Chains A and B, each alone.
Chain A
């Protein structure tokens, strides 16, 4: 099979340590995923000073929680409000903030999402089950360079008494891409 052959050749030629591949796969399967981003969002919901820092210098604020690194070197956080809804896409390839969200879902890399997110965001959101008021302004961020975007969703109503961990549990992957909304506190 192609992959095994390529891996064997690259190992034989001294480019690859196969053990490193196992560690990489484990890291993205068990350690680096959207739960990291959810911690960032929950902290921003609970701590106004952290929220300000996140919106001003997302790379540093996120690094302070231990989620710095690969495909998160230049982070920008964009905040949803009652007036503005943010949504992230990479129309040219599959740029995605790995450090906070892990590996992108297949649909994020697929032609229909990449083609339509910039031109018909309301139609795309509808497919995801999200219908926004007509008055809401939609902001699309096309990740065309090495800047990576994280959406800071609106904090759900009625979540005042929740702990940071309980808040993090309401934060979905899609709500941090902007194709979804966080879970309800009720």
Chain B
């Protein structure tokens, strides 16, 4: 089974100019705020989780042709169909976000930290190598950082593991690390020198000892 993310853009050759935007410019069409709110409000229903949403978005074939709110809308329509929401026996919502509960829900958020199943395999300052695997499902190790050596810079505790959570296979908490890479390791000697270091947040299954 092949799985292709159209959203994994780091390091790709995209030459369009970056279009600046003043601080107050939040929406560019009247329907956009509605989509933002719909997606947020669907969270508590439990119909999908954040990783399922990301998987639904990144697999849209024409992802790159859509604006970001179009991506959100298309993915929500897709999930609604997949989950049979419009059928005769829609899955009951876990919770419905009522207007009077919005403020509390926003300020509470939903933490992704969990009790770890065991001790952390890697320690601060340790040299590690990312796996060079292209999995056949949603993952959060960007392609540009696969098979690369870096240094563990932070240890965040265990968090919900997107690779299983996106497939409905459970939260499966895994230790999360920030791993720092030298620019030469990622882009080679040919790339013009930037004097930069690039960090990604990587789950333990993405790492091996270097």
Residues of chain A lying within 8 A (CB to CB) of residue B201: 142-145, 147
Whether B1 is near chain A, meaning CB under 8 Å from some CB there, is: no
Whether A141 is near chain B, meaning CB under 8 Å from some CB there, is: yes
A121–B196 Cα distance when bound, in Å, is 8
A186–B202 Cα distance when bound, in Å, is 42
Residues of chain B lying within 8 A (CB to CB) of residue A69: 106-109
Give which listed residue, A19, A73, A113, contacts B112 with CB less than 8 A.
A73
Whether B159 is near chain A, meaning CB under 8 Å from some CB there, is: yes
A119 (CB) vs chain B CBs: closest residue: B11
Whether the pair A121, B57 counts as a contact (CB closer than 8 A) is no
Whether A34 is near chain B, meaning CB under 8 Å from some CB there, is: yes
Whether B15 is near chain A, meaning CB under 8 Å from some CB there, is: yes
A118–B97 Cα distance when bound, in Å, is 37
Whether A183 is near chain B, meaning CB under 8 Å from some CB there, is: no
| Contact A16/B19 with A69-B107, A146-B160 known, Cβ cut-off 8 Å | no
Residues of chain B lying within 8 A (CB to CB) of residue A80: none
Give which listed residue, B45, B110, B144, contacts A15 with CB less than 8 A.
B45
Whether A72 is near chain B, meaning CB under 8 Å from some CB there, is: yes
A133 (CB) vs chain B CBs: closest residue: B195
Q: How large is the interface on B (under 10, 10 to 19, 20 to 34, 35 or more residues)?
A: 35 or more
| Contact A112/B197 with A13-B86, A16-B38, A20-B41 known, Cβ cut-off 8 Å | no
Whether the pair B57, A93 counts as a contact (CB closer than 8 A) is yes
A65–B50 Cα distance when bound, in Å, is 27
Whether the pair A22, B109 counts as a contact (CB closer than 8 A) is no
Whether the pair B28, A106 counts as a contact (CB closer than 8 A) is yes
Whether the pair B41, A24 counts as a contact (CB closer than 8 A) is yes
Whether B26 is near chain A, meaning CB under 8 Å from some CB there, is: yes
Whether B117 is near chain A, meaning CB under 8 Å from some CB there, is: no
A27–B103 Cα distance when bound, in Å, is 8
A64–B187 Cα distance when bound, in Å, is 40
Q: Which B residues are closer than 8 A to A by beta carbons?
A: 5, 7-21, 23, 25-26, 28, 31, 33-38, 40-42, 45, 47, 50, 54, 57-58, 64, 67-68, 73, 76-77, 80, 85-86, 90, 93, 96-99, 101-103, 105-113, 140-142, 144-145, 154, 156, 159-160, 162, 176, 178, 186-187, 191-192, 194-203
13 A-B pairs within 8 Å (CB atoms) are namely A17-B41, A20-B98, A25-B37, A27-B103, A28-B36, A29-B33, A73-B112, A92-B7, A106-B28, A107-B21, A120-B194, A146-B50, A147-B201
